[in-house]
Structure 1
Amino acid sequence: MKDFIGKVAVITGAGNGFGVELAKECATRGMKIVIADIDKNDLYRTESMLIEMGADVVAVATDVSIYEEVELLAKITIDTFGSVDLLFNNAGVVAAGPVWELPVNDWDWIMGVNVNGLVYGLRAFIPIMLKQGTPCHIVNTSSVAGLLTTPSMVAYHTTKHAAVALTEATNYSLQAINANIKMSVFCPGFVQTDLHNCDRHRPERFKIDPNNPYYESKTYKEGLARGQHVITTGIPIDSIAQSVFIAIEDEKFYILTHPQYHPVIGKRVKDMLEGVNPSAEFFTKA
C-alpha cells in the first residue's frame, strides 16, 4: 500500500503512545481515521487533536479484551466510512513479575489485551477486508520482547511472542488464499511512551485488589520502577510512525526499530539451533 489519501485507518490503543503517533501520521497522509481506546479522556484528547489537524475522524470507546466491543468498532467503521484499508492492532499493557508471584488477575488482564485484543481485531476486520477485495494492510503491535526473552517480564514476553506467532501464522493463511491483505508485526524496543502507566487503564474487572499483598511487595515495586526507567529513557517517539509507514509502503513484515537488539535475537536463534541451553548468566554479565 502506497496511496493513503482517502483510505480508512482503524487504530486501537489510540489514546496515547504509539496510537497517537500513528493517528497523527494517518492524518498527515490524508486518511479517514477511526480511533479506539478504553480510556475515554485520552481517546477524546486524540480526537480533538486530529480534528484540529483537519482529519475526518471517529472516536469509539473500546475495550479490546471484549470481542463484542471490537465487533462494534468494526461495524461503526463500516457504517461511517464504508470500508477499512489499514488496521493498527495496537492496544497493549504490561505487567512485571515471575509467574509464581504475578496474580492471576494480572495474567487475565495482559492476555486479554495483548493477545485476545489482537485476535479479536483480526477476527472482526479480516472478513470485511476479504469481502472488499481491495489492497489492505494490518499491523499488529508486538515488541522486541516477542523476539527474545529476559528474566523479569514473563507475562509480557509471553503475550508478545504470541503476537509474533499470531501475525506470522495469519499471514501464511492469507497468502494461502491469495488474499489482497498484507501484514506486518511491529517489534520496537524501549520508546518514550506511556506504557509504564498502563495500570490506570485497567477496566473494573481487572482492577488491582488492594488486599493482595503482591501489590505491596518488593517485586511489584521494583517492576514499576524498572518499567518507568526503561521507558522514560527510551528513544523519542516522534519518528516511530514514519518508520512504520515506510515499512507498510515497502510491504515489510518485520518492523524493528532498535538494531542494538539484533545480536541478542540472533544469539537466541543460534543457541536453539546449536542445542545451547538458556542461561540467566547472560543477563548478569550484560
Structure 2
Amino acid sequence: MKEFKEKVALITGAAHGFGRALSLEAAKRGMKLAIADIDDEALSKTKTDIKDLGADVISIPTDVTDEDEVDAMVKKTVAEYHEIDLLINSAGIAVPGGICELPTRDWEWILHADLMSQVWALKRVIPIMRKQKDHCDIINVASIAGLVASPSMPSYFASKFASVGLTEAVEYDMQVAKANISMHVFCPAFVQTDLYHTENHRPAKYTDKNDPYYSSEAFKEGQERAKQDIVTGMPIDKIPGIVFKALEENKFYILTHTGLNPIIVSRAENIPSGKGPELKTLAPFLSKTHNEEN
C-alpha cells in the first residue's frame, strides 16, 4: 500500500500499545478508522485523539476472544465505510509461566487472544477485500517470539509461532487465488507497550482467583520480568514509521531489532542438521538488544 488517504483501516487492540500508535499514524495519513479494543475507556481516548487529527473514526468495543464479537466488529466497520483496505490484527496478551505452572485457562486465553482472534478476523475480512477493486493489506501482529524462542513463556511463543505460520500460509493462499491482497507479519522485539498490564484486561471467563498460581512467586516473578523487558524496550514512537514504511515497500516480515537477526538466521540454519536450541547461543542476545533500532 502506497496511498493511504481516504482508505479504510480496521485496527484491533487500538486502545494501547501498537494498536493505538498505528491508529494515530493511520489518522495522520488521512485514513478512515474503525478501532476496536476490550478496554472501552482507553479506546474512547484513542478515538478522541484521532478526531483531533481530523480523521473519520468509529470505535467498536470488542473482546477479540469472542468470535461473535469479532464478527460484529467487522460488520459494523463495513456498515459504516462499505469497505476495508487495511486490517491490522494488533490485539494480544502475554502470560508468563512455565509449561508445568501455567493454568490451562491461560493457554486458552492467549491462544484465543493472540491467534484465534486473527483467524476469525481473516475469515471475515478477506472475502470483503477480494470483492474490492483496489489493493488491500493485512498485518498480523506477532513478535520476535514467533521466530525464535527463549525460556519461561511457552504459551506466548506457541501463539506467536502460530501467528507467523498462519500469515505465511494465508499469503500462499492469496497468491494461489491471485487475490489483490498482501499479507504482512509484524515481529517486534521489546518495545515500550502496555503488554505488561495484560492482567488488567483479563475477561471473567478466563479468571479463577482461587487458583494458587496467581499468588505464587513464579507468577510474581514472571510479571516483574515482563515489566522490565517492556519498560526498557524501544520507544514506541519509532514503531509507526517502521510499520508504514514496510507497508509502502510491501515487506512481508516486519522486524524492529536488527541485533536479533543473527539468532533468527542461526535457528533457521540449525533445522536441516537437526540441531536443537542451546541456551548458550541465546544468552548474549537476551541482554543487549532491547533498545537497538531497526
Same fold per superposition (TM over 0.5):
yes
Q: Which residue of 1 aligns with 2:7?
A: 7
Cα distance, 1:61 vs structure 2: 0.5
Q: What percentage of residue pairs aligned between the two structures are identical?
A: 46
1:119-140 Cα offsets, whole Å, 9 max, x none, are 0110110110012242100000
SS in 2 for 1:221: helix
Q: Flag structure 2 segments of 5+ consecutive residues without an equivalent.
A: 286-294
Take 1:123 and 1:67, find their aligned partners in 2: how far apart are those partners? Answer: 11
Q: Which residue of 2 aligns with 1:79?
A: 79
1:2-51 Cα offsets, whole Å, 9 max, x none, are 11110000000000000111011111100000000011011111011111
Take 1:28 and 1:284, find their aligned partners in 2: how far apart are those partners? Answer: 40
Q: Which residue of 1 aligns with 2:107?
A: 107
Take 1:89 and 1:22, find their aligned partners in 2: how far apart are those partners? Answer: 11
Q: Which residue of 1 aligns with 2:237?
A: 238
Cα distance, 1:278 vs structure 2: 2.1
Q: Which residue of 1 aligns with 2:160?
A: 160
1:53-92 Cα offsets, whole Å, 9 max, x none, are 1110000001111111111111111110111100001100
Work out whether 1:70 is the aligned partner of 2:67.
Answer: no
Take 2:87 and 2:230, find their aligned partners in 1: how far apart are those partners? Answer: 25
Take 2:282 and 2:180, find their aligned partners in 1: how far apart are those partners? Answer: 42
Residue pair 1:192, 1:233 contacting (<8 A) in 2 also: yes
Q: TM-score, normalised by structure 1?
A: 0.97
Q: Which residue of 2 aligns with 1:123?
A: 123
Take 2:191 and 2:3, find their aligned partners in 1: how far apart are those partners? Answer: 28
Cα distance, 1:283 vs structure 2: 4.4
- Shift of the 172–285 alpha-carbon distance from structure 1 to 2, 3 Å rule, reads closer
Take 1:285 and 1:131, find their aligned partners in 2: how far apart are those partners? Answer: 48
Q: Flag structure 1 segments of 5+ consecutive residues without an equivalent.
A: none
Take 1:262 and 1:154, find their aligned partners in 2: how far apart are those partners? Answer: 21
Q: Which residue of 2 aligns with 1:270?
A: 269
- Shift of the 285–186 alpha-carbon distance from structure 1 to 2, 3 Å rule, reads closer
Work out whether 1:222 is the aligned partner of 2:221.
Answer: yes
Cα distance, 1:94 vs structure 2: 0.3
1:256-283 Cα offsets, whole Å, 9 max, x none, are 0101111111111112122223233444
Residue pair 1:133, 1:179 contacting (<8 A) in 2 also: no
Cα distance, 1:195 vs structure 2: 0.2
Write the mapping of 1:33-52 to structure 2, written as runs, cut at 5 A.
Answer: 33-52=33-52
Q: Which residue of 1 aligns with 2:290?
A: none
Q: Which amino acid aligns with 2:230?
A: I
Take 1:143 and 1:88, find their aligned partners in 2: how far apart are those partners? Answer: 14
Q: Which residue of 1 aligns with 2:291?
A: none
SS in 1 for 2:182: strand
Q: Which residue of 1 aligns with 2:288?
A: none
Q: Which amino acid aligns with 1:70?
A: V
Q: Which residue of 1 aligns with 2:200?
A: 200
SS in 2 for 1:45: helix
Residue pair 2:263, 2:282 contacting (<8 A) in 1 also: no
Q: Which residue of 2 aligns with 1:261?
A: 260
SS in 2 for 1:41: helix
Q: Which amino acid aligns with 1:251?
A: N
Cα distance, 1:285 vs structure 2: 6.7
SS in 2 for 1:138: strand
Residue pair 1:92, 1:113 contacting (<8 A) in 2 also: yes
Cα distance, 1:116 vs structure 2: 0.3
Cα distance, 1:172 vs structure 2: 0.2
1:89-136 Cα offsets, whole Å, 9 max, x none, are 110000111111100111110011001011011011011001224210
1:152-198 Cα offsets, whole Å, 9 max, x none, are 11100000000000000000001001000001000000000010001
Q: Which residue of 2 aligns with 1:186?
A: 186
Take 1:130 and 1:106, find their aligned partners in 2: how far apart are those partners? Answer: 35
Cα distance, 1:242 vs structure 2: 1.3
1:175-226 Cα offsets, whole Å, 9 max, x none, are 001000001000000000010001111111012x221111121211110010
Q: Which amino acid aligns with 1:114?
A: D
Take 1:86 and 1:190, find their aligned partners in 2: how far apart are those partners? Answer: 25
The RMSD of aligned alpha carbons is: 1.1
Residue pair 2:137, 2:181 contacting (<8 A) in 1 also: yes
Write the mapping of 1:241-252 to structure 2, written as runs, cut at 5 A.
Answer: 241-252=240-251
